[in-house]
Amino acid sequence: MAADRPERRQPQDGKAKQYNVLKFRLYPTQEQAGQIEKTFGCCRYLWNKMLADVQEFYAATDMHFIPTPAKYKKEAPFLCDVDSQPLCNVHQNLRRAFMDFFRAPESFGYPQFKTKKSGRDSYMVYCRQYRTGPSIYLTGSGIQMPRLGLVPANIHKKPLHWWSLRFVTISKTASGKYMCAATFGCGVRESERLTPARERTLGLNFSLKRFYVDSEGRSPELPGIGASREKLARMQQKLSRMEPGSNNYDQQLQKIRLEHEHIANQRRDFIHKESRRIANAWDAVCVRDTDLVELSQKLRQGGVMDYGFGAFRGCLKYKLERQGKAYIVLDRLFPAAKTCNECGYVNGELDSHRKSWTCPGCGAQLAREINTARNIRDMGLEQYLTQMENS
């Protein structure tokens, strides 16, 4: 499955460097699983020790300093039993976390200590090129890894022959499944930027019940996430009547974890398929910069985050940009819902709960969500064309 937000950089040879991610499920042997778990534990231990030393050093000297992993191998010799690359990446990740915090503390929190119960174990290994071949490579039945050997995996999708493997990330889900995200790099030519026309531009308005309503008056066919969430609620009710620590409790808890993964997979599959369909069919897409977190806090029972509209916007953005198409974001303060798309009249007294209204200026009958999507399309396209003329 493709990554949600692939990167694209501009190297010196004039070609853009594009990164693609393929994710596979691993089926390690008992010995390989033990080595993976040991690496998880070492990375978690090293992160906590580094963070504690950073805090202690800052309290004593009022200066910021992050020690390297080599300092801890004498006092913790078990760190030598795992691959050194994940330990080096822990140092880099902590350094990057502090840089992000110092750069934008309102967006990035202070680095926190990690616990085994968090369920977010992962580590990264880079692919090195040697005379005998790369240190990591895919086979028909698995992936060859340092310290692990050939790990059986479900390779459901082959990388293209010009892709170059850069690094892999090994992770473990809450239900106990081992996953491998392989990141490949390749050079691509920049797509020519298209000049969108109104008839080839789509406006999307976020809808609480229908995910979105576009400027053509259509909505997507939603997956069965609602039914899955109802099933999950019944499973959680059943869990609440069981004794914690019993075998039945642990079995039911595992079923709940699997159901959570099923819902996440449903959401991810829907987001990628729908964003791909739109990116292939239209030359430009206009969306409003709606703050979904703020909206979910106002509507606590509304299920704003159920279908992942924020992730959908991210997928739609990179898929459009890869084809040279425009992804246009309209300011959230623009009164798209209160403006008549026919005559431009702004109805300042419009009730926010009304699904349709009659324009006092021209008398047009307007469906609220469709009218909003059309205003997003028209205003967003006008904004984009103005920026192209000025650039």
pLDDT tens digits, 75-91: 999 999 999 999 999 99
pLDDT band at 12 (very low <50, low <70, confident <90, very high): very low
Do 31 and 155 lie in a common domain?
Answer: yes
Which pLDDT does position 9 carry in this prediction?
53
Residue 106 lies in a domain: yes
Do 166 and 242 lie in a common domain?
Answer: no
Do 101 and 136 lie in a common domain?
Answer: yes
Sign of CA dihedral 290, 291, 295, 300: positive
Do 166 and 305 lie in a common domain?
Answer: no
84's enclosing H/E stretch is helix 84-103
Which pLDDT does position 296 carry in this prediction?
80
Which pLDDT does position 99 carry in this prediction?
95
Residue 18 buriedness (CB in 10 A; 0-12 / 13-18 / 19+): middle
Cα 203 from Cα 196, distance rounded (Å): 12
pLDDT band at 307 (very low <50, low <70, confident <90, very high): confident
Single out the residue in 143, 161, 188 at which a domain terminates.
188
Do 316 and 282 contact (CB within 8 A), yes or no?
Answer: no
Which pLDDT does position 226 carry in this prediction?
84
Least confident of 43-47, 67-71, 189-193: 189-193
Cα 2 from Cα 271, distance rounded (Å): 11
Residue 1 lies in a domain: no
Cα 181 from Cα 265, distance rounded (Å): 15
Single out the residue in 188, 222, 243 at which a domain terminates.
188
Mean pLDDT of 88-102: 94
Q: CA Rg, the chain, in Å?
A: 25
Domain count, the chain: 2
Beta strand 284-288 with 201-207 is parallel
Q: Residues 251-278: pLDDT tens digits?
A: 999 999 999 999 999 999 999 999 999 9
Q: For residue 340, what are its two tokens? A: 């008549």
Do 264 and 140 lie in a common domain?
Answer: no
Partner residues linked to 336 by β-bridges = none
pLDDT band at 225 (very low <50, low <70, confident <90, very high): confident
Which pLDDT does position 3 carry in this prediction?
47
Which pLDDT does position 4 carry in this prediction?
47
pLDDT band at 300 (very low <50, low <70, confident <90, very high): low
Do 243 and 299 lie in a common domain?
Answer: yes
Its domain, for residue 136, covers: 8-188
Do 157 and 226 lie in a common domain?
Answer: no
Q: For residue 189, what are its two tokens? A: 């030519």
More confident residue, 102 or 306: 102
pLDDT band at 222 (very low <50, low <70, confident <90, very high): confident
Beta strand 201-207 with 326-330 is unpaired
Residue 103 lies in a domain: yes
Do 265 and 168 lie in a common domain?
Answer: no
Left if phi > 0, otherwise alpha if psi is -120 to 50, otherwise beta: which for 363?
Answer: left
Do 135 and 229 lie in a common domain?
Answer: no
Which pLDDT does position 76 carry in this prediction?
93
DSSP code of residue 73? T
Q: Which pTM was predicted?
A: 0.84
Instruction: Supply the mean pLDDT for the chain.
Output: 89
Residue 2 lies in a domain: no
Share of the chain above pLDDT 90, in %: 63
Cα 223 from Cα 202, distance rounded (Å): 22
Do 357 and 209 lie in a common domain?
Answer: yes
Mean pLDDT of 139-167: 92
Decide if pLDDT at 1 tops 50. Answer: no
Decide if pLDDT at 239 tops 80. Answer: yes
Q: Residues 341-383: pLDDT tens digits?
A: 888 888 877 777 788 888 888 888 888 899 999 999 999 999 9
Do 181 and 222 lie in a common domain?
Answer: no
- How crowded is residue 56: how many other Cβ atoms within 10 Å of its Cβ? 10
Do 108 and 208 lie in a common domain?
Answer: no
User: What is the chain's length?
Assistant: 391
Cα 332 from Cα 91, distance rounded (Å): 39
User: Rounded to whole angstroms, what are the CA distances from 166 to 100, 223, 385?
Assistant: 24, 34, 38
Beta strand 284-288 with 326-330 is parallel
